[in-house]
Amino acid sequence: MKKIFIILLLTLYTITGIFTQEEIGERFYDFGIYNNYDLRNSSTNAISLHKVLNDTFESLISSKLDSPFNSITKGLFAFSSTYLTMLWSHEFGHSIRAAQIGGSFNIHNINLPIPYTTVDLPGNTTLTNQAIFVTAGFEVNYLNVKTLQSQFVRFNGATNPDLALSFANRLMFPIYTSLVVPIDPSDKNVWINTAGDPVHFILPVFKNFSNDMVFMDDGSVNPELVSFYNETMVLAIAFNLLDPLFYSEVGAAFGSDSVNRTPFFLVGDYDNGWTFGTHFNASPLGYELYMNNYLHLFGKQFNLYLKYGRPFKNIGLGLTLNDALNFKNFSSDIKIECWDQDIYGFGVAGEVNGHFKINDSIGINFTAGYKSSGYLIGKQLESGFNLGGGVTIYK
């Protein structure tokens, strides 16, 4: 697996500068606070902080340096800001979920490349809650991917640092399993002395699904567990490679400097066309595979995702209408989602996200919605209202 992953990275490294480069329109940064331990408290704020850091560095420092010193300092800053944003949004995801299930997440140091952290969970923590704590870091990573990809298509472009951040978040799970903590899932010691977040996530999910049948009567690892682990690792890589928009991220991460890259529409163009993206997610029900369809038609933008997950049955879909309400200083999106899951049954959720622009520099953003019991990426498992609000800064 490690050799395969390295070969894939080297292959992707050669795919640069594939898509058109243009200037982007108005740029803004959303900062907010959300209730119910919503993981957007980490994801949304981390993305905006990353944008602010890179835009500020570009305007105040990088643009005033001569080449090649400019390229070196810009590259070092971009790598550092991207890595730290990806890493710490992941860690704060763990912290949010730990608090949600009555535990505490402890950061002992912030050593590079990986900080030392531990968690204290209540003694009666269920397998589902164990899994949702562990998956929280990856959930934030894939929320980052989902948000950045949606913005990339919606606004017909994104800066190199934005796309590079999405690329880094996509790689968190595959790098963890291939380079950071590679394991042999057929080794029983792996499942006794668990190693790394992927194993910590898969173990409680499979125990919950199989009624604790981790080991066979002869002491060997359940072959279904070995198969499920390997399947998860392969799909975590494959579902990135299937995404046509992913290769714009590759170009941004490894290619030459540009102001902006535009998305590739498989049918038509930005005004009237269709394209899609894919991503993988780790959840307390097992892995999830998303196909995100972006349809632009007569000035309207529709986002339809289809979701499939296992080992627990986990199918769902969601539809978003961008700018369902659109006035001079106010706009809002409407999202409707539904799912059918083994543990929770059928469920629905609805949400409105909006912006009110006060002047050319500042505005207000808000979120208001409700979901029934069930799993949605980044949200609480129980039914309840999802509320949030904050400040939007316009550049």
Task: Pick the more confident residue, 68 or 329.
Answer: 329
What does residue 115 show for φ and ψ, rounded to 5 degrees?
-75, 160
Check residue 259 and give its pLDDT.
59
Structure tokens at 128: 């589902």
Check residue 122 and give its pLDDT.
92
- Taking only the tens place, the pLDDT of each residue in 40-51 is 999 999 999 999
Check residue 243 and give its pLDDT.
95
- Name, in order, each residue with C-beta under 8 angstroms of 174's C-beta and a sequence gap of 6 or more: 5, 233, 236, 237, 240
Question: How far is CA 195 from its chain centroid?
Answer: 22
Question: DSSP string covering 298-347, please?
Answer: TTEEEEEEEEEEEETTEEEEEEEEEEEEE-SSEEEEEEEEEEEETTTEEE
Would you call 127 helix, strand, or coil by DSSP?
helix
The confidence band for 81, taking pLDDT boundaries of 50, 70 and 90, is very high
HSE, CB side, 13 Å, CA atoms: give it for residue 67.
Answer: 2
Question: How far is residue 223's CA from residue 229's CA, in Å, rounded to a whole number?
Answer: 10
- Taking only the tens place, the pLDDT of each residue in 302-339 is 999 999 999 999 999 999 999 999 998 999 999 999 99
pLDDT at 16 over 50: no
DSSP for residue 177 = I
* Closest among 339, 337, 333, 367 to 350, alpha carbons compared: 337
Check residue 193 and give its pLDDT.
87
Structure tokens at 336: 């409707």
Whether a cis peptide bond, with omega within 30° of 0, leads into 185 is no
pLDDT at 207 over 50: yes
What are the C-alpha distances in Å from 108 to residues 99, 115, 117, 119, 218?
A: 17, 8, 6, 11, 40
pLDDT at 12 over 60: no
- Taking only the tens place, the pLDDT of each residue in 113-131 is 888 888 998 989 999 999 9
Question: How far is CA 375 from its chain centroid?
Answer: 15
Question: How far is residue 341's CA from residue 334's CA, in Å, rounded to a whole number?
Answer: 23
Would you call 262 helix, strand, or coil by DSSP?
coil
Angle formed by the axes of helices 69-100 and 127-154, nearest 10°: 140
- The DSSP bridge partners found for residue 297 are 300
**177 and 236 Cβ atoms separated by less than 8 Å:** yes
Question: What stretches of the chain adopt beta strand conformation (E)?
Answer: 28-34, 104-109, 116-120, 267-268, 273-283, 286-297, 300-311, 314-326, 330-341, 345-357, 362-371, 384-394
Torsion-angle region of 268 (φ positive above 0: left; ψ -120 to 50: alpha; else: beta): left
HSE, CB side, 13 Å, CA atoms: give it for residue 97.
Answer: 29
Helix, strand, coil shares of the chain, percent, nearest 5, are 40, 30, 30
Q: Which amino acid is at 58?
A: E
Check residue 93 and give its pLDDT.
96
- Taking only the tens place, the pLDDT of each residue in 327-377 is 989 999 999 999 999 999 999 999 999 999 999 999 999 999 999 999 999
Give me the mean pLDDT over the 179-201 stretch.
90
pLDDT at 10 over 60: no
DSSP for residue 392 = E
- The DSSP bridge partners found for residue 32 are 390
pLDDT at 6 over 70: no
Task: Pick the more confident residue, 394 or 111.
Answer: 394
What are the C-alpha distances in Å from 150 to residues 33, 123, 211, 322?
A: 21, 40, 38, 10
